Amino acid sequence: MKRISIRARVTLWYTGLLVVLLGLGVVYLLSFSDQMLSRQTRDALLDVVSDAVKQAHFDDGELDDEKIDFYREGVSVFFYDTSGRLLAPRVNRGLQVDSILEDQAVKMVSNGRETWMVHDLFAIQDGTGFWVRGVVSMSGSTATMHGMILLALISVPIFIAVAALGGWLITRRAFFPVGKMAETAQAISSGSDLSLRVPDDGSGDELSRLGCTINSMFARLQASFETERQFSSDASHELRTPTAVIISQCEYALSDVVDEAERKKSIDVVLRQARRMSAIISQLLLLARAENGKFEPSWERLNLSELCEMVLLEMEDTAQSNGIALEMQLEPDIMLIGDQTLLMRLLTNLITNAIRYNRKGGHVEVCLQRLENGAALRVADTGAGIREEDLPKIWSRFFRADASRSSIGTGLGLSMARWIAQVHGGTITVESVYGQGSVFTVTLPFEQKDEKL
């Protein structure tokens, strides 16, 4: 069974509610109008009969009817003596109503074809008792009510039809963006074009905000897919080189023409390439866990000054073997909340890059100083520097500004460093002059908003 659309359901609900409200309104209006007409007729009947009593005069027991209004405001007036004999008028006797005279009574009398409202009043004037009866036909009120009912029967359906059509058009226009959203989502689901977006009329209403939210979601989804595609391509490229080297070196080491010394060299090459692959895979796994929200930092209060000093001491041999002078200016006892393992990796990555891409006889300077709400770590080198057009790209995975450097490193160091800084609520920036060197500055807050100690 086909489900009714939301647009149709809203229109049906709106139309049904309108029918009920209009029906109740028409019934109330007709009832009120009937009561008002009856009240007006009754008031006119009472007034005319009362005035007729005042106009009546008797001369020697005979009614003087010259000044009496026998018909006014639709009311016919009749005079009777105490025995019920008609005294006046002498014409229009056919309008008499066959009903018992009752003092001050107001009643409805019908002969099956017509209905009258009747009012009787007994009075004594000039010593003579008499009855005054007022009679008014209800045919006028009935005709008025019939006209109103007919008007309601004609106008109400037309009004409901017009209102239902208007409601349908309004809901159709209101739900049009929803249909476009569904079409766009279906197109993305059934195809591969993630650049599609929901049209936004810029009205700022709820549906417009929903469209903006969906577009933002699509944009993030597109960026995620593009990043994943590029990541897979780069990872495959990065792992292919060491894999090829390992295979070729293993084949060379297993050949019969290789002596023991050459075989050891091949094994050493294989070991270095395997370690490089292990480093790439380890950092990729860490970044993947971070992006999936599955990584939980191990927050603890630590001495950043001592941590920097420890990493620098470990890096001294590497710096000396590359002919690089390692200098440090560390402000003592800077305490903050952080993940020790991640911060050590951040320091190691920055210092390793500063050493690796430096020139022979150059130096690396590491400075740590206290700020008002955190700490600033500065790593400066005298290396080749980075071209200005490459500065925005250095944070991307596997990016290398110089193709000649593709044989060393994993290409993940700066990407990892920026992620670690962001995890700690900090920032990392770079200033570089091509051919002269680079300066990386990391700022870290003292406290973490979501720390779990």
Start and end residues for every CATH 3.30.565.10 domain found in the chain: 300-445
Alpha-carbon span 367 to 304, nearest angstrom: 12
Phi, psi of 325, deg, nearest 5: -90, 130
The residue to which tokens 């069974």 are assigned: 1
Q: Tell me 27's DSSP state.
A: H
pLDDT at 280: 72
- pLDDT tens track, the chain, 453 positions: 567 777 788 888 888 898 999 889 999 998 998 899 889 999 999 999 999 988 888 887 788 878 888 888 889 999 998 888 888 887 655 556 777 888 888 898 888 788 889 999 999 888 889 999 999 988 888 888 888 899 988 998 998 899 889 888 888 887 777 777 778 778 777 766 777 777 776 777 777 787 788 788 878 877 777 767 766 766 676 677 678 888 888 887 888 777 888 888 888 888 888 887 787 777 677 766 666 666 778 899 999 999 999 999 988 988 998 899 999 999 999 999 999 989 998 998 899 999 988 988 899 999 999 998 999 999 999 998 888 888 888 887 666 665 444 445 556 778 888 989 999 999 999 999 998 899 999 999 998 765 543
Backbone Cα Rg of the chain = 51
Identify which of 356, 385, 379, 384 has the alpha carbon closest to the alpha carbon of residue 366: 379
In 331-426, the DSSP E strands lie at 335-338, 363-370, 374-381
Write down the pLDDT at residue 77.
92
- Cα–Cα distance between 78 and 84 in angstroms, integer? 11
Strand partners, 128: 125
CA 269/CA 277 separation, integer angstroms: 12
DSSP codes, 263-313: HHHHHHHHHHHHHHHHHHHHHHHHHHHHHTT------EEEEHHHHHHHHHH
Q: Is the pTM of this model over 0.75?
A: no
CB distance 411 to 235 below 8 Å: no
Q: Which residues contact 116 (CB under 8 A, 6 or more apart)?
A: 97, 108, 109, 110, 135, 136, 137, 138
Residue type at 233 in one-letter notation: S
Task: Considering the chain, tell me which residue range(s) the CATH 1.10.287.130 domain(s) occupy.
Answer: 206-291
CATH for 300-445 is: 3.30.565.10
Question: How far is the C-alpha of 407 from the C-alpha of 385, rounded, in Å?
Answer: 18
Q: DSSP readout, 244-268?
A: HHHHHHHHHHHSTT--HHHHHHHHH
- Give the distance, in angstroms, between the CA of residue 350 and the centroid of all CA atoms in the same chain: 43
Residues across the chain:
453
> What pLDDT sits at residue 404?
42
Q: How many other β-carbons are positioned within 10 Å of the β-carbon of residue 55?
A: 17
The whole-angstrom distance between residue 269's C-alpha and the CA centroid of its chain comes to: 58
Max CA separation in the chain (angstroms): 167
Structural tokens at position 146 = 């019939």
Topology of domain 206-291 in CATH is Helix Hairpins (1.10.287)
Distance CA 355, CA 388 (A): 21
